[in-house]
Amino acid sequence: MCDRVTVSLGVVSIVPNSEISPPDLINAADKALYIAKQQGRDRVHAVCVVTPS
C-alpha cells in the first residue's frame, strides 16, 4: 500500500473567440497533460493559447 497520491495536470488558458472551438481547447489541455506526465510525478504544465487578431 502506498501512503501518497501524486497528481499531474495539464492546464490551458485562452481568451475566448470564434476561432477556438471547445475540441481545440480539450486537445490543448490533453497535450499539456501528457507533457506534465512526461516530466514526472506531481507536475503541472500550463499553456496559453493565443490566436492572431
Radius of gyration of the chain (CA): 14
Higher pLDDT, 22 or 53: 22
How many DSSP H helices and E strands does the chain contain?
1, 2
The mean of the pLDDT values for the chain is: 87
| CA–CA gap between residue 8 and residue 16 (Å, rounded) | 25
- Read off the pLDDT of residues 8-25 as tens digits, 9 standing for 90 and up: 999 998 888 888 888 988
